[in-house]
Every structure is written in C-alpha cells, then in structure tokens.
Amino acid sequence: MPPTSTTQSRRSALTPTLIVVALVVVGFIFFANTWTDVLWYQQLGYFEVFLTENLARIGIFVAGFAIMAAAMYFAIRVAYNARPVYAPDAEIRDNLNRYQAQLEPVRRVVMIGLPILFGLFAGSAAASQWQKVLLYFNQVPFGQTDPEFGLDISFYLMTLPFLGFVTGFLISVAVVAGIAGILTHYLYGSIRIMERGIFTSRAAQIHLAVTGGTFLLLLGVNFWLDRYAALQNNGGRWAGALYTDVNAVIPTKAILAVAAVLVAILFIVAAIIGKWRLPVIGTAMLIITSILAGGVYPWVIQQFQVRPSEQTLEKEFIERNIGMTRTAYGLDKIQVERYNATNTATSGALAPDAQTTQNIRLLDPNLISDAFAQLEQYRPYYTFPETLNVDRYEVDGKVQDTVIAVRELNPGGLSANQQSWLNTHAVYTHGYGVVAAKGNKFTVDGKPDFLQAGIPSTGVLGDDSTYEPRIYFGENSPEYSIVGAPEGSPHREQDRPSAREGGGDTQYTFTGNGGPNVGSFLNRILYSIKFQSSDLLLSDAVNSESQILYERSPRERVEKVAPYLTVDGNAYPAVVDGRVKWIVDGYTTSQYYPYSQQEQLSEATADSQTVAGRSVALPNSSVNYIRNSVKATVDAYDGSVELYAWDDQDPVLKAWQKVFPTSLKPYSEMSGDVMSHVRYPEDLFKVQRELLGRYHVTQPDSFYQGDDVWSVPNDPTVEREVKQPPFYMSLQMPDQENSAFQLTSSFIPQIVDGSARNVLYGFLAADSDAGKEKGVKAESYGKLRLLEIPPETQVPGPGQAQNKFNSDPTVSQALNLLRQGASDVLNGNLLTLPVGGGILYVQPVYLKSTGETSYPTLQRVLVAFGDKIGFAPTLDEALKQLFGGDSGAAAGDSANNGQAPPAPGGTTPPAPGTTDAKAELKAALDEANAAIAAGQAALAEGDFAAYGDQQRRLADALKRAIDAEAKLAVPGAEPATSPTAPPTGTPTPTPSPSPTS
C-alpha cells in the first residue's frame, strides 16, 4: 500500500528531529568535557592558564577561519558574478550547462559550505600555533645578537617563527582561494579550453592577475624571511649558515625576493592594461632564476669552491656553531680541568677523599624495589615503583644519600571479588607513607638500612604527627577517586593496616581541597559523562561534600598547568614542610636558536632506564635551545601545584610570565626545605652530555677533523647496547673543598659501528646542591665540571672495569658459588668516582633467589682501580684489599666489617680462619654438595620440611665456602664473615613488626 501523506509528513519530521537530538547530545558531551576542565583549573588555581590558552586558540581559530572562508567565498562569488551570458561553442556549452544544471540546486549551499569547510580546517591548523602567536606579542629581548645579521636572538626564537607561520598561512589561503576561483570561472565559462588555445574573459583575467600578484608578493616575503632562516639550517654537517649559505644562498634569496615582487607588479599592470606578455615572461624568468640561483649556483659554490678548501673556508662558521651551540645548551660556562689520573692504587690514597668514600652509594635504586616491596609493602593493594629515587637528607647533622620511595596505591592488587566500582573509586583511594633507606649502608644480612619505614610511618624523616603520610597523588594513582564527606559522617576510605597484631585496618576521610566538588546534581551528571560511569551518578558514595580527584600524575598536572613546558621524565618525592611533595623539573625549549645544533630529545635522553621502561622518555621532538626554567612541586595529599621561576633570566620564560602573569612564583618564595631537595635534572643533563661529546672541543680545526669525539659508554650491566644512565651521588670533585650532591656521567672515545676503545676520556659532574636557605639559590648550583683525562693514561672505562670483574677467576668462582641453589646474582649499577688520584669503580652485587616472594640482598661489593680489583662482603673491606690493606678512608658500611648475620636455624656459624683455608673450603663445598643431594632426595619424597632444612644447610655451607675462598685470595688476611645467602625457594622477609588485618 503506498504511503499516505500523513506517513510521509511523519518521516519528513523525524529526520530533522533526529539531527537536532544528535546535535544536542554532541553539544552536551562537549559542554561536559569543557566545563569539567573549567572546574579542574579553577579548583587548582590555574584558571588563568585555561582561559588564556583557550581564548588564544579561539581568537586565532576565528582569524584563520575568517581569512580562509572570506578569501574562498570572495573568489567564488567574484568568479560567479563575472560569468558570461553565453558560450560560443555548442558542445562546450552543453557540457557546462549539464554541470551547471547539476550544481544549481545546491549552488548556494556549496558557495557557502565550501568556504566554511576550508575555513574550519584552516582555523584548526592556525589555532595549533597559539604558542608562536603569544610569544611574538609578549617577546623579551635576549640581549645577545647573531653573528651574521646582528639581530637580537629573540627575533629568531619569537619573531621569525610567527612571521613564517603568517606568511605560510596566507600563501595557503592565496593558493586555495585561487584554485576555487579558477574552477568557478571554468565551470561558468569564463575560462574555456578551445582548439586555438585557452579563452579567458576580461573579468577572469583581472581575477587571475590579482591572485597571482598576491601569491608572488607573499612568495617574495617568504624568500626574504628565508635569508634569516638560513641561520637555523640543520641540513649541513654543522648547524647554521655556512660559507655557501652566507655567500650564495642568502644573497640569492634576496634577489629572488626582489624578483618576485617585480613580477607581482607586472601582474597588476597586466590586469590594468590587458597585456600578459610581460608577467608571463617575468614568471618564467623567476622560475629559471629560482632554479639557477637557488639551487645550481649554491651547488657549484659548494662543490668547486668549498669542498677543496672546506676546513679553511668553513672555519669561521664552525666557530660560530661551536659558540652558539654551547650557549644554547648552557655549556658555555662549563669548568674544564685536566685530570692526570693514575692507575696505581697506593696505600692511603683515599685519605683526601674521605667525604666521598663515606657516602659511596651501595643501594641500586633500580634493583631494590623488590626489597622495599617485600619488607615494606604490607598489603597487596600497595606498591612501589620499579625504580626508586636518590635524594639526600640531613641525619644527625650530616648529609645522608638516601634511596626513597612512596608506598602508592595499587588498584590491581585487589582480588577479583574486590574489584567493584565502590572499592576502586571510593574505598581504596590513596597510598600511605614514605620509605627511605641509607644509600651507603645495609644491614648485616644484606637488607636496606631503613631511615623511614613502617605503618604508621616512623623514622628520622618524621612520623604521622610531623608530616602528612597519605598519598592521593602519585605516579600509580587510580584514574579518579571520590573522597570527602560532611563532618561527622562515618569514614569510608581504606586508610592503612593497623600497627597492632590482630588489630583491624583503619578508615579515613579526605579533608583537603584536592579536586572539584561533585555534590551538585549537575556536576555529577557532567563527570558521569566525562568518565562514562553511571555508578558515579547513582552511587550513595557521592555526597554533598564529595570531591573528585583525577589527573593525578605529578608530571601530567604540571604539563596541564604549564603547557609551554617540556617536563622531565622523572618526578621524585621529598618530605618537605610537613608534606610529601613531588618535585618536577620543567624546561623551556626552542628549535629556532641560530647556529645551534639540534638534538632529538627522545634519542638524547634514551638510556638503559628509558629502554627498560623504568623512566619516562621525552617526546620525539627536536630542540636546539633548552633551559631548566621551572621547578614545580605537587603535593601528594591534595595535588596542589606550585610553579617556581627557577631560571628567572631565561628570556623565553620571561615571555611566558607576561602571558601568564599569576601562574609562576619567584624562586625567592621557595622554602628552605624544598630548596634543599631540588637537584640538577636528569634529562637536561643527558642532553648536555650528548652535545658535550662533540662540543667539549672549542678549536674549529680540531672540531672539523673530529679527532677528539667522545661517546657516552654503554651500560655494562645490561645485555643491550644502550647508554649508561647518569648517577646521583655525593661527591667531592678535585677542585672542591667539601662533598656535594652531584649528577655524574663519564665519556669514552667515539663509538663507531658499535665498537670503541673502552678507556675513560672524560668525567662530567653537575652540582645539584642549591642550599637550604629560603629563596636563596647557592651560587654553585648547576655548575658543570668536566675532568679531561689524557688518553695516554689509559684509564679503564666502565666496560673494561665490568670485564675485569666478570673475568677475574676469584670473583667468578665466588659468584658461581652464590648462583648455586637456584639463586640469581645481580650486578648493581657501576659507579665511577674520581678519587685517590685516579678513577675508582664500585659495583654492589646482589643475590636473589627464584621464589615469588624473594628479593635481592646485597652480598658483595666489587671495586676496581686501574688494573686491580677488590671483592669483599663490604665496601670498606673491598677498598682495603684494593689499596694494600689501608685505603686511607672509611666507607659507609665499615661498621659491618667482621659482623656475622644470624645463621639459619639460629646456630652460630663456625669462625673462619680456625682451620686451614684450603681444608675449610673443601669441607664447605663437600657439605654443599651433600646438602644439594639430600635436598633433592627429600623433594622427590615430598618431604618439604626436610627440603627446607637442607636448603638452609646449603646456604650456610656456601657462606663458609666463600669466606674460605676470600681468605685464599688475600693471603694472611682474615676474611670478614659474609652475609648468609638467602635460602632458595620462597624466603619470608623479616621486616619490623608487620601489621595484620
């Protein structure tokens, strides 16, 4: 049955209704996401950033949209209005009439819709350049000029990028609008292809002439700007304008700019007089000139003038590149000292370096996370990061290097039946407490020597009454949590396990100001849409005082409130001012610094830590200017963010301070507590050391020849060929009177095709001590010290030191003994220290059984100086071995010398040295073999208790074997009793009294 008129009218009404409903839904979702962002920025106190950025984006979008849409509409409208009344050729007329007839019903929609569509694309592209626009209008001079044009550096970083953006955008507008006009002229017959050629009406000729002239004028401006952009060139062997650029490219760009303007004038004249010969000839000449002058001529200069005498002709420009690159990366004030390192370990050599020796770090933050977890995690819903952080605290009046971490919440640690919305978003909301251990010490049985531990949190850093231990904002927080309740309401949040045996866990209610309020019905709806959760809308866990915490990663919070910064990949926690605060480093960067060599951040900052996923890699972007301009803190309890203008002399930061005048504080407002924990940032240091491999050379001739290029050594403790990470440590450099907290790295000869002579050529240290006085930055902070080691000294590099450790028969035998009984030997980080007049290498050795609950314990320490190595249960003993029985200084673990760990089963291990060493070694190995055989037999019979006894017997025998072997390695020396190797299987950690639920 044919549809009735009523049915047709219903259908016709349904379509627009569905469209309206769809638009309302999409609009409300957009409103929800936008308004929740407004609430987030307002709560955090950075609404200025949100408003300024988005107003800038909107303004630039509107301008880009209006320019593109107006140009296209005007071009189409002018071409349409200039259409001829008839076309002389019948066949062409029929084709055009057919096209016109098909277009006519939608002509007005197309004439308006196309400009709008292209305007949207153009506006979006333009809005993404908001930073260039704001920097241009708020630029601050550098007070330094470039060596070619004598212009202030701010012209290249803030003016030229903006002018290039505007010129490029207008050229795109001219091209798109010109094409739209030509197509319209053709469609309506103003331009026709005929047998005798192309026919154009007078109106079309004028239109094309104006379009062509506009395009050529803009092209001329672009050619002129290219002269300055030559100083930012990175396409040659060295960055910047080189001999060919200065003597060929820059002059020809000026010629082409003038030529383009002249040809543009010819187009305008042609539009007036109707003669097209001159502009056509001018265009052809411009194309030929651009090919010859812009390509052929520079190529001839380069091939036949520069290449035969490159070193001589490029010397001036290489010198410019060296100077500007070193300035752009902060290498211009580096202190370089020749270090005539010795390879001879003499008795008492470490006496002048007693401060350094005392603080040599033995705990590897990359390996001991499992130890922290097994000893201090307490509940499966807590976790520690895979890599811990190195900091320093004042303990008993002395600065103590510390390995520190926060006990964060791990929602994945909840069992399957606990994974409800209420538990994951309203009950389990936060982590608890700081755990810190001495970097230079360990317990007798190889565990971390904790300064701060336990639940409740106790230790030298404070307790629950002196600092807020709850961690709501961290690197492993849930996506969002609902917290807060009216006063007097029952607590809902899981707080911490009870400290009493058999006591219940405690509950808590968040009392800070950490997130937007979701008490109102509208806000609940908006956040339900944002997080696509109906539970958030309907749950009784949401009340009138509820707050929603999200965007909880410290790095992400800083990135959002300071979108102009590149944020360091490693945020680290510190107990300061009664709070746990994350300290985050931010960089202002640019890729437009003249004559400066570009570096790709992701490559320059890659090392064994980023490859293993232990630290965040920087974005894959290129820069040739970088400053650590901002230090930020993020409160772990309420998420509040403070931005401090750390490098307040950075012109780029000054420009951003004009854009966002209230978001940054001067570092003079930074508390002494925070000041004492800021450190030199890792990623900046990695970029600098990568450049320094080439730019430690300041003589252009040597730089050209590349006869002294360095590389960062590969990490010898991993199998993959990736760079060794830098290390934080307290270190006294040769010119310093006292030890300072420093970030260090070493250099070897250039690695070519994966191979290099692994001898040490350089050692770099960045002073990370900013002092502890409020608002006063120590003058020494950030000072880079480079020790250049003469190649003829042949000091072993990290790779050679590791090879010596691995190939030494005594060490190998001892480590093989440790590997018996299903245990793994783990090599800790290999530290390089310029002490004793030479280079000392220190590597802790950990033992870890294969059980699920096992964790590494520090069992031995390897040291090397020149060709000599030491190997002992403590660093202090190993140094004594190395330096002929007297190192001249005590190591931090000297108190462990001669102490024996509790033996398995509570028995006292036999005193070493009471029998002949060889006989003792043989007896111990025989007992170890017997224990292995007996253990396997017990396991075969299913007697696990007997198997456990034999494993303890095996561990004790291995300990005695190692001690006897050490006695043989050092004739006449009484070996210190070593820590007992952990038993195989799944040993149970023995922390301080562990709470139970």
Average pLDDT of the residues in 275-303: 86
More confident residue, 985 or 239: 239
| Position 633 pLDDT exceeds 50 | yes
* Residue-wise pLDDT tens digits, 67-89: 999 999 999 988 888 777 654 45
Amino acid 970: pLDDT? 45
Q: Position 249: which residue type?
A: V
Pair of tokens at residue 264: 């543009």
Kindly report the backbone phi and psi dihedral angles of residue 920, in degrees, each rounded to the nearest multiple of 5, phi listed first: -65, -40
pLDDT band at 508 (very low <50, low <70, confident <90, very high): very high
Mean residue pLDDT of the chain comes to: 86
Of 258-262, 331-335, 640-644, 910-914, the poorest mean pLDDT is in: 910-914
pLDDT band at 983 (very low <50, low <70, confident <90, very high): very low
How many CA atoms, within 13 angstroms, populate the side-chain half-sphere of residue 988? Answer: 6
Amino acid 733: pLDDT? 94
Average pLDDT of the residues in 911-933: 61
Of 32-36, 278-282, 552-556, the poorest mean pLDDT is in: 278-282
| Position 15 pLDDT exceeds 80 | no
Does an H or E element contain 440, and which?
A: strand 434-442
pLDDT band at 445 (very low <50, low <70, confident <90, very high): confident
61: nearest Cα among 169, 159, 164:
169
More confident residue, 415 or 451: 451
More confident residue, 124 or 956: 124
Q: What is the pTM of this model?
A: 0.86
Pair of tokens at residue 235: 């396409």
* In contact, 781 and 850? CB cutoff 8 Å: no
| Position 567 pLDDT exceeds 70 | yes
More confident residue, 970 or 406: 406
Average pLDDT of the residues in 679-699: 96
Amino acid 558: pLDDT? 97
Of 40-49, 75-84, 830-839, 920-929, the poorest mean pLDDT is in: 920-929
* Residue-wise pLDDT tens digits, 466-480: 999 999 999 999 999
Pair of tokens at residue 944: 């696990």
Other Cβ atoms within 10 Å of 24 Cβ, number: 10
Residues with Cβ within 8 Å of 969's Cβ and at least 6 positions away in sequence, in order, are 810, 871
Pair of tokens at residue 837: 């007049």
| Position 561 pLDDT exceeds 70 | yes
How many CA atoms, within 13 angstroms, populate the side-chain half-sphere of residue 159? Answer: 12
Amino acid 111: pLDDT? 84
| Position 385 pLDDT exceeds 70 | yes
| Position 411 pLDDT exceeds 60 | yes
* Residue-wise pLDDT tens digits, 518-549: 989 999 999 999 999 999 998 989 999 999 99
Residue 879, helix vs strand vs coil:
helix
More confident residue, 897 or 193: 897
Average pLDDT of the residues in 285-292: 87
* In contact, 68 and 123? CB cutoff 8 Å: yes
Amino acid 972: pLDDT? 38
Average pLDDT of the residues in 281-300: 87
Cα 790 to Cα 778: distance, rounded to the nearest angstrom? 32
* In contact, 723 and 608? CB cutoff 8 Å: yes
* Residue-wise pLDDT tens digits, 265-274: 988 888 777 7
More confident residue, 326 or 101: 326
Average pLDDT of the residues in 611-636: 91
* CA-to-CA dists, residue 907 to 530, 915, 924, 985, angstroms: 62, 19, 16, 21
Of 496-505, 716-725, 759-768, 829-838, the poorest mean pLDDT is in: 496-505
Amino acid 95: pLDDT? 61
Cα 470 to Cα 463: distance, rounded to the nearest angstrom? 12
Average pLDDT of the residues in 316-341: 95
Cα 927 to Cα 908: distance, rounded to the nearest angstrom? 16
Which residue in the block uniquely carries the two structure tokens 């100086």?
865
pLDDT band at 901 (very low <50, low <70, confident <90, very high): low
Amino acid 985: pLDDT? 34
Amino acid 301: pLDDT? 92
Average pLDDT of the residues in 18-31: 85
Amino acid 911: pLDDT? 37
Cα 650 to Cα 565: distance, rounded to the nearest angstrom? 13
Cα 710 to Cα 752: distance, rounded to the nearest angstrom? 10
* Residue-wise pLDDT tens digits, 947-976: 667 777 777 777 777 776 655 544 434 343
Pair of tokens at residue 202: 């007078």
571: nearest Cα among 731, 370, 387, 368:
387
Amino acid 503: pLDDT? 55
Percent of the chain with pLDDT over 70: 87
| Position 912 pLDDT exceeds 50 | no
* Residue-wise pLDDT tens digits, 732-751: 999 899 999 999 999 999 98
Amino acid 812: pLDDT? 84
Amino acid 982: pLDDT? 34
Is the peptide bond preceding residue 456 cis, with omega within 30 degrees of 0?
Answer: yes
Amino acid 262: pLDDT? 92
Cα 755 to Cα 906: distance, rounded to the nearest angstrom? 52
477: nearest Cα among 543, 554, 400, 379:
554
Amino acid 99: pLDDT? 64
Average pLDDT of the residues in 599-606: 92
Average pLDDT of the residues in 781-797: 93
SS3 per-residue string spanning 353-400: HHHHHHCCCCCCCCCCHHHHHHHHCCCCCEECCCCCEEEEEEECCEEE
Amino acid 353: pLDDT? 93
Which residue in the block uniquely carries the two structure tokens 């307002």?
42
Average pLDDT of the residues in 435-440: 95
| Position 762 pLDDT exceeds 80 | yes
More confident residue, 101 or 561: 561
pLDDT band at 987 (very low <50, low <70, confident <90, very high): very low
| Position 699 pLDDT exceeds 90 | yes
Amino acid 965: pLDDT? 62
* Residue-wise pLDDT tens digits, 792-813: 889 999 999 999 998 888 888 8
